[in-house]
Structure 1
């Protein structure tokens, strides 16, 4: 409620100021025209009309600019508040879990099976913390234009499979949930930056996919540009939010009601790095099925070699086979 009010008051005040300024401008113009038409020296009134209208136009421009900047500032404050809530939750949950497991192992004797189970759970918590810290560090790093390291021709198809395997291991899902349609292609980039882009997009695709996750990745070369498409079968993103989600700290919905972990930095990092590589990223309509489809277009070229293929991936089952 406080966040809504904090945004409502600047908008209300700004609209009132705009209305008053417009009303004052109209009144000033009408009075000046009336005075000029009945005066023996109309040039004086026309001069005053021009000067006064210019000043009122400047005031109106200032009011609109102030209102716009205030709304942006309030929205940024709300996003930062959501980000703090998210990071606090992401830090406290695994730390509390680690503390509980360690206390249990320290205070009582546990069987070898239980100890192995605890260690696996603790490793998952550590990986969750590592992912959070990595995102925070990457968000600060991408703000700097001068990044160390020379660009090279990176195999997109090979890197896609490498990143996909790592993401599937993290979420403990088989690589077979991802369908690959990859052409042999290369992009001139820093390998680490391209890896971050792919990891953030594939991480989102697997994390927000449906109960029976299905993800498809396609890479093609069109007119000396590599087009990469990553689609999932999740709930999708509303059209009105498709541009907003690439902002910093942006996550859809209320922070305390979310089921999925995250910081709202992944897509911001991906967009920043894509732009640095002179490319474009957007959300496109998925015409064949529900879900979200991200499209990344980067300057690149076809590679004169066979396309890379996952060694352990299996075709996704059809709907009839799944039934």
Structure 2
């Protein structure tokens, strides 16, 4: 069953109700004007029937809207089941294969070490998936209070960035962190889940190779904005609100090039709102400077310096997360040096 069936049925019902309402109003008004003796009855019928027909029209529209939402949710749940089944089946099949190989055949020590490393990666993949699902269940359940404390934002971002590079086997310079000494008053668990999912999403849907930049600023009012910029193809403007829904993954589940369950940005949105913050998606831009060409002495301008390399803009996606209760950490004051005359006296002694 496709979405065309409920939409067509709903449109037909809406048209019929509109026509019925127009005929009812026209007939009752015409009867009230034509018959003076029974005009009061027609006006009563008009006053009672017209609101009922309008209520029926509103009910049909609401029913159509809910049907479309239910259909989309059902489709997203089907995609979620497909992706989770794949995420569970692949590492389990890999573990089973390597265990059977080690049981039925003589394996050298080097091969055993290689098999152990591969099986450990599969176990970590399963553990990451289970933790992801548990995080979603914990957020959906709500009502669970987490103790907030002052956290060093640079430490949290660096920890999440290093963990993401290790999980995806990327060099540490893949994720750059630009964060002044900012303290955020927030629960440790929620803040780590928030930025871990943001960085994972930026790496998975970034370019090849991926490149991610984290930039944090703190305003005078205490709002902390963390911008996560990747070098991916971007998200269309009409889909930027939808990507925060549950089980939402753009495209077809049968044509996936990236692992995932469609719950990462859903967690990001819910945690951000629970902490009293806000989130926004927009186009990002990277400034890429091209390599300067070899200049001959004749091409050198009169100033003696070669021309600077031109810069080109590479488009990406930027997600801005703004959280309250932030402040700049107080830096230690520099040591006080003695006055110049005292310093000279000390040097003479």
Normalising by structure 2, we get a TM-score of 0.84
The CA deviation at 1:175 is 1.2
More moved, 22-31 vs 151-160: 151-160
The CA deviation at 1:179 is 2.0
Counterpart position of 2:232: 234
Is contact 1:185-1:300 (8 Å) kept? no
Q: How does 1:11-160 map to 2 (within 5 A)?
A: 11-41=7-37, 42-160=39-157
Is contact 1:186-1:301 (8 Å) kept? yes
Is contact 1:233-1:292 (8 Å) kept? yes
Counterpart position of 1:213: 210
Determine which of 263, 266, 277 is the counterpart of 1:265.
263
More moved, 26-35 vs 193-202: 26-35
Superposed CA RMSD in Å reads 1.3
Partner SS, residue 157 of structure 2: helix
Is contact 2:157-2:177 (8 Å) kept? no
Q: Distance in 1 between matches of 2:97 and 2:160?
A: 32
Partner SS, residue 218 of structure 1: strand
Q: Distance in 2 between matches of 1:79 and 1:147?
A: 27
Is contact 1:221-1:300 (8 Å) kept? no
Q: Distance in 2 between matches of 1:231 and 1:48?
A: 62
> Which one scores higher on RCO, CA 8 angstroms, separation ≥ 6?
1
More moved, 43-52 vs 60-69: 43-52
Partner SS, residue 25 of structure 1: helix
Is contact 1:33-1:46 (8 Å) kept? yes
* Cα shift readout 1:156-179 (whole Å, capped 9, x = no counterpart): 121000111111111111111122
Is contact 1:235-1:290 (8 Å) kept? yes
Partner SS, residue 142 of structure 1: helix
Partner SS, residue 192 of structure 2: helix
* Cα shift readout 1:134-160 (whole Å, capped 9, x = no counterpart): 111111100122224321122212100
Counterpart position of 2:272: 274
Normalising by structure 1, we get a TM-score of 0.90
Determine which of 194, 197, 203 is the counterpart of 2:200.
203
Determine which of 289, 298, 301 is the counterpart of 2:323.
298
The CA deviation at 1:305 is 4.2
The CA deviation at 1:281 is 1.4
Q: Distance in 1 between matches of 2:329 and 2:85?
A: 48
Q: Distance in 2 between matches of 1:304 and 1:14?
A: 58
Q: Distance in 2 between matches of 1:304 and 1:86?
A: 43
The CA deviation at 1:286 is 1.3
* Structure of larger gyration radius: 2
